[in-house]
Amino acid sequence: MPRLLTALALLLLAALPARAQPVLNIYNWSDYIDPYVVQRFTAETGIRVRYDVFDSLETLEGKLSAGRSGYDLIVPTSEPTFARLVRAGALRPLDRARIPNWRNLDPALMARAASVDPDNRHGAIYLWGTVGMGIRPDRVRAAAPDAPMDTLALLLDPRNAQRLSRCGIQVMDSATDVIPSVLRHLGLDPNTQSQDDLRAAERALLAIRPHVRAILPSGSVLDALATGDVCLALTYSGDVIQASARAREAGRGVEIAYVAPAAGAQLWFDMLAIPADAPNPEAAQAFIDFVLRPEVMAAITSHVRYPNAVPASRPMVAEAVRNDPSVYPTDAALAGSFVAGTPSQQVERLRTRIWSRFKAGR
């Protein structure tokens, strides 16, 4: 009888559906993680990762605004997307008891991110960087030998733009990141609410539009720099640094440099955040805790060449990356940087119209 009962029990167990492997749904920027990190997380936790990518904040916001995106973990930039999601109640507060590696985060950087998320309740900094110019120094010097190499006048002075148009200019398709940098260059408040100031930025952009070859997502700008198709691009710091590494690997003699504007670069933070309707928030918090390990963050920074907010990781970052001031700005450069605020709805509408006219060239 015991054997019969055992056999029956085994048959009943076999008839039960197998427990499904937990799945973590991540929505992140393209080219923005070390793939081995994802594999290692799955190996350690048994949680399978479904990993989707986007190439602009507008794409991310559009996906989330529809509701029930199905994502457990997203990586919005602090301003304006993360800030808007916080205010809208669209993010789940983080349970720090489940994220013990939170203690590894840089308090000074987290304090700057707290300006849009009091007490950092909804997000941890993943990676950060600045907005500036990627240039081919040889071609820029050949086309405009007297042009300044350390300010946005290299791009925004129409005379310089006209000369550089022969070797190619691209601008990333992001009003969020471009317009504040233009305002700062003009000596205006990057967070201005003044229509006159915004019209000044519009005039500056339209003046160079005939000389801009393309306005494309940042990933496309990265490719154009790496292949040498353009000699100047306004984009994210890490894109330029990645393009420089790809160019060296290609061995075609293409040199690419990153230039942070001397007047002060726009500083941004990409945040690890959980949508309020995430189907598996526990897995998301486990992943946040995992990537905040110093050795894991070091692997990510070494791979994508963006700085992180875990100071203990820096000695473990690849030497060429950790000693590159384009990756880790000096204290003086950080002090001169600015964080863009979230515009009012009225200003946002005006910025959108300005950007549409810039892209259309009229």
Which tens digits make up the pLDDT trace of 209-257? 999 999 988 777 778 887 888 999 999 888 888 888 888 887 777 889 9
Q: What type of residue is 184?
A: R
Here the tokens at position 185 are 């260059």
Query: Could you report the per-residue pLDDT of 252-280, keeping only the tens digit for each?
Result: 778 899 999 988 999 999 999 999 999 99
Cβ proximity of 160 and 194 under 8 Å: no
For 65-103, the pLDDT digits (tens) are: 777 789 999 999 988 889 989 988 999 999 999 999 999
Whether residue 43 has pLDDT greater than 80: yes
* Distant-in-sequence, close-in-space partners of 150: CB < 8 Å, separation ≥ 6: 259, 261, 262
Task: Summarize the confidence of residues 116-122 as an average pLDDT.
Answer: 93
State the pLDDT at residue 301.
96
Q: What is the pLDDT of residue 20?
A: 67
List, as one string, the DSSP characters of 35-96.
HHHHHHHHHHH--EEEEEEESSHHHHHHHHHTS----SEE--BIIIIIHHHHHTT-BPPP-G
pLDDT digits (tens, 9 = 90+) for 132-166: 999 999 999 999 999 999 999 999 999 999 999 99
- The predicted model gives 335-347 an average pLDDT of 86
Q: What is the pLDDT of residue 3?
A: 44
Give mean pLDDT, residues 297-302.
Answer: 97
- Which are the contacts of 139, defined by CB distance < 8 A and separation ≥ 6? 167, 231
Residue 193 parent element (H or E): none
Residue 358 pLDDT more than 50? yes
- Does the pTM of the predicted model rise above 0.85? no
**Residue-range domains of the chain with CATH:** 21-128+268-328 (3.40.190.10), 130-266+341-360 (3.40.190.10)
